[in-house]
Each structure stands twice: as C-alpha cells, then as structure tokens.
Chain A
C-alpha cells in the first residue's frame, strides 16, 4: 500500500484515496461472506451488502442495531455473545453454527471474529466475517454417510479386504480379513507385508506382476498362512490403482475363505469315489455269487450222492461251509455297495443303541470307560435293526481299538436334530424333517487327513494283515446310506475321533407285517441276550412270533409241547447253556420235524459241523446276519 502511495504522489493523493476506498468498498460489498464491524455494545457499526441482502434490509437500517435485534435475543445469548466477549479479550474466534436469515432460511455458517483495530492496545471493535458453508457441510455429511455405509459393507461381508503398497506393505485391512487369517487385532496386521501370509511368496510376486496391467484379476484359490501358522485356502482377487501412469500407488485385494467349499468338494469327491468302488466291488460280488452258486450246487449234488458219514461227504460239507463264508463276504461287499436288499422295519434307534452298548460293555477292557448318559428318546427309523446294530457295534469296536492299551473314554450320545441343520451341515438334500444324531467320540489315537479320507473304502484297514477284513467302515457307510442317513467324521491325530451318524426319523407307522392269519412261531435259541434281542425285535416287527430260549429245560418243553410247538428253530452257535449237542439229541429223541436254521460266526466248531451234517439244519448263515438274510432263510425253510 505504501509503495503504491509512493508511486502516486502530490495531487493524485486524494483521488487515489477515493479510488482505493471505492475499490475496497466494492470488494467488501461483493464478497459472498457477510462482513460487519461490531462495537463493544454489540452494535453493528458497519455491514457489507451481502449482510444486508441476507437480511433483506438496506445498510442504514442495520447499522446501529444490536446483534440481539438482528438475530433475535435468544440466539444472541446462546450462540453469539460468549464468542464476541472472547474476541474482545483479544483472541480471534472461529466457530461454526447454524443461523436463520430472512432470505436464505436455515444455513450453516463459519464465523470468524477478529479484534479490531489490531494495531492499538485497546480493542474497541471487532471484525465479523460469516461464511456460508452449508453446501460444504451437506457434501461432508453425504460423504460421511457414504463412508459409513461402505464401512458397514466392508465390515459385515465375510470377505477380507486389504489395501497395500505395491511392495506388499499392508496399509489397511477390514475385520473379516482379521477373522479369516485368525489374527488378534487389526493393528497387528498393518505394516506387515502381505507376502508373509502367502505360503509361497513366489505366488505373491506373480500376483503383483499380473496386476501391473491395471485390470482387476481373479487368482482363484491360493494357500495362505494364518497368523497362528495354519494353512488356509482362500479365493483371492485384486486390483491395482494407478494414479500416475508410471508409478503404481496401491493394491487392493479381496480374499474369501474357501475351507467350507473345499471340504464339501472333498466330501463329494469321496462320495463319488466310494460310489465307483461300490459299483466295481458290487459287480465283482455279483459275478462271484454266480461262481459260488455253481460250487455250492455241485457240492450239494455230490453230498447227495455220497454216503452220509463217509469221509468224502465230510470233505464236501467243508466245501459247503467255505461257500457260506464266501457268501457272507460277498454279502458284506454288496451291503457296502448298497446293492444288498435290506429288509426294513420301523425301529427305535434308542433300543438298538442301548442293546449295542450293553453288548459291548461286558467285553470292553477295564482301561476304557464307556459313557452314554443320554435319555430315552422316541426316534423311530425305518431300517434293519440288525444292520443298525452292526453300524453301532463297528463304531464302538473301532473306538476301542483306537485306544489300544491306553486309558481312555468313549462317549456315546444320541439326540434328535432338525433336518435343516443336517442340510446345512451336509449341504445335501434332506429326506426327513428330523434326524437322530448318534455320536461316538473317543480319546484314542485319532487319524490324520489322509487316513480320514480313506476309511470308508472297502478293504482299507490300518490293522495288520489278517486282523479284520477291512470291510467294517465301508459296510457301515453302505448301511447308513441305504437308510437315507449320513455319516460324518472328525478326527485329530493323537487326540481322538468322532463319528456322527445322522438317520432320518420316520414317525409314520409303516405296517411291516402286512400278513394276515396266524403268525409263524420261531423258537430262538441263544445265549447272547443283546444281539438276539435285536434280531428277535427285528423278526417280531416283521410279523413273527418269537419264543426266546436260553436254557435246556425251557427249550425242551417248548419243543415237545404241542401248544407251543414252533414252526421253526433258529439256533445261534454262541448259545452257552444249550449246546449244539443238546439240539442234536433233542431232535433225534423226539423225532420232531421242525426246520432249523443255524447261525454261526465264520469259525465253525466241531459240534456245529456235526449238526450241519445231521440233516437237521435247513439253512446255515454266517454272522453278521441281516434281517433280509434271516427272513429269506426262514421263508425257504418253512416253505420247503
């Protein structure tokens, strides 16, 4: 200003000052801000045009008015006065507030009070500048809301977002990333390098290279390391934001946990594999049964030709026994491959499970405790009870074996769960509204993933050769699938395994008997109460009248009493009190002609052999015996 004055000297001074005043008045009046000078009495001494326009007034009518007059007393006291007082004490005051003006209504303003004049020691006035910041405020508000929205979206989606520098240094991550990578806090991740989460850093380098083109890229599934060091497979996609065409500024990645989909895919693969093996094994079993029929047919013919107690006849009897064993094996394979017919009845899972546990408990070594504290539940399932027994027995036996000689516990539980939950768990269509879930958990040696994948394959066994056929779990799988159920395994090496069986509950009563007239009477001779109870339960539900017999006196009475006389006798070779001998003697003495079915395990004792050769036995079955098998045998025996 002084330099300018120096240039214009003498006469021009007055004109110059006039011009200067005109210019500054013009600038002040045309400023979009409201500008005013206020004295210590809170009175306007000077206001600019913007101020007047906002109040729809002319300059003169505002100058001389107090702030209370212009803005209203209440507004003055609550929003303005303390700021003015502060300014008069020497401070520049800046604040934001909303005011109402006659022209514009409610607007947001930024207000600045400056002490005036600045040069002198005493502050007599202040300079007030008021800027309309409404538009700024609105856009700020929108931006905040948008950011809030985005944050929600970023936080709630189960997708991890990471922004990092081109070298991999992480700038920002969202909550899902922290969850997926199993980290403690977001802070712990920032400043780490994203490459350190890759199992193979080489892959990270490849990703960066591919992103340099500036196009979004989908990288598919990539193995990552969690903060705890576990491997986790994630789907990764990324995009590089390039501000300057030459220098990449940052890279955004999105990661999704694919564990579940991988698990489901694996499960599907396993199921398909089992299906294939099943079809193959089933085909072989089918052909094998043809061969066995030929062998057994000729053996029978040969036996008919030979004198009964000749050594040759006994040799042929051995051939026939071997055929029975082979048939038992092919039956198991057919059961696994779900090509075995199953005879199904409505049966309460609770009863079968309780019987199985009772059966096992007596033979479990003392280092193992079996805990089963579930309450009775009505959970009818449409299945073959003898097959369910096999399933449960198999799983408990496996649990016992996994504990070896160590101290351990087997937990058994059953409960009814909703079909929906099963569907979620399995990702499969469900066949019932309710399922009964039976859990077998042990604290045994467990298995690793590679082992777990193969346990349902037929002939797969971890036991030494010769111990167990390796068909156990494959048969379990076949039976459970045939019922429409599912089986799940979880296991950790050295910690133990859990098997979960889901069976569809069928509450409708299915009339399994369907036969009118007299129920055929079956005398059931057995020493093994649990196993026989299941078979007898099954046969009872199929429409037979069962007479249990465990001791010779009772058995002889039933056989000879015309009122009780059975249509058929089933003799289980494990019967302790009634020996095969007793049966032989009883039949010979009383000359009764009742068909008899012999059920043995694959090792046939001498007495049983004698029984087989005596001609009393119509059918010989080898354990495990399914309801279908025994029913077929009964029908054949009674009819012929």
Chain B
C-alpha cells in the first residue's frame, strides 16, 4: 500500500464519462490540481480496469453505453468499500425514480446534474479527499 502510495503520491481519481470532450475537460482540470487522473469511457471499462489501490475517488456519469453508472457505483464499492463516489448526470430517469436519486441511494457521496460548476466539483472533491486523509 505504502509503496503504491509512493508511486502515486497524489490521490487518484477515476473519471467515468462517455462524452470525450467533457471527460477531457474534467481531466485537464483535475490534472492541473495535481490529482492522478485515470479515465474510462464507459461503465464496463471502469469496472474491468479498476485499480482499488490507486483510486480514491470516482466521478461517474450515470447514463452510459455498456454498463451504466449505477452498476459502476455498486461494483466499485464492492471492490473498495471506502471509495468516494460523485455521480454526475445530464437528466434521465429509470422508472419512477431518477438516476441521481438512485445513485444517492446506492451511496454516492455527492451528485451533480449537468451542467454544473467545475469549481463546485473541485471544491467537493477536495473536501471528500481531505476527509478521507483525516479518517
């Protein structure tokens, strides 16, 4: 664990988003804040290539091709129970409940509907990761 931590000194963030531009924007921004950023362009990739030792926080879209964001939240939480999760969605509902509400019910630490303020997101990520380090 410690060795790995040394290899990746900054907290690791996994971005799961099928929109390339949006993912790139998020990656640019978070990289500038010196986070280690990994990307996945759909839910299946995120689950298959998940590295529990590297990733401390996941920002995931909810409606995506292949596996959707709800599956990502469930699977990744199984693999790493302490993982912080932020769900982002551009609207869309699964039956009577909305995806974002479901995401919250599944244990997402924060949810944002698109379009959101990038500064708000960064603040939230920092807050969650600080909490992580303290805890």
Contact = CB atoms under 8 A, between A and B. Distances in A.
Contacts of B100: 341
B2 to A, nearest CB: 32
Given A292-B114, A294-B19, A327-B115, A286 B93 contact: no
Given A294-B21, A304-B119, A341-B98, A639 B92 contact: no
Contact of A297 (B29, B93, B98, B113): B29
Interface stretch (A150-158, A332-340, A508-516): A332-340
A341 B113 contact: yes
A301 interface: yes
B135 to A, nearest CB: 18
A292 B93 CA distance: 19
Interface string B14-36: 00000101101110110010000
Nearest to A338: B93
A346 interface: no
B63 A291 contact: no
A481 to B, nearest CB: 12
A282 B115 CA distance: 15
13 contacts: A289-B114, A291-B22, A293-B88, A293-B116, A300-B119, A304-B119, A323-B115, A327-B115, A331-B91, A339-B91, A341-B93, A636-B112, A639-B127
B93 A298 contact: no
B90 A300 contact: no
A297 B100 CA distance: 20
Given A294-B21, A298-B25, A301-B29, A632 B91 contact: no
A285 B25 contact: no
A544 B117 CA distance: 24
A593 interface: no
Residue from B21, B24, B112, B123 whose CB has the most chain A CB atoms within 10 Å: B21
Contacts of B66: none
B120 interface: yes
Nearest to B119: A300
Given A286-B90, A289-B115, A341-B101, A640 B21 contact: no
Contacts of A330: 90-91
A443 interface: no
Contacts of B28: 301
Interface string B68-96: 00000000000000000000101111000
Contacts, number: 88
Query: How many residues of B sit at the interface, in one of the four size bands?
Result: 20 to 34
Interface of A: 282, 285-298, 300-301, 304, 323, 326-327, 330-331, 334, 338-341, 619, 632, 636, 639-640
A338 B94 CA distance: 11
A292 B118 CA distance: 11
A339 B92 CA distance: 5
B94 to A, nearest CB: 10
Contact of A285 (B22, B90, B116): B90
B124 interface: yes
Contacts of B63: 286
B90 A640 contact: no
A282 B92 contact: yes
Given A294-B19, A294-B25, A341-B98, 17 more contacts: A286-B91, A288-B90, A289-B113, A290-B114, A291-B22, A293-B115, A296-B118, A298-B25, A323-B115, A330-B91, A338-B93, A339-B91, A341-B93, A341-B100, A636-B112, A636-B120, A640-B124
B51 to A, nearest CB: 25
A246 B117 CA distance: 87
A292 B115 CA distance: 6
A293 B90 contact: yes
A172 B29 CA distance: 85
A345 to B, nearest CB: 15
B19 to A, nearest CB: 4
Contacts of A291: 19, 21-22
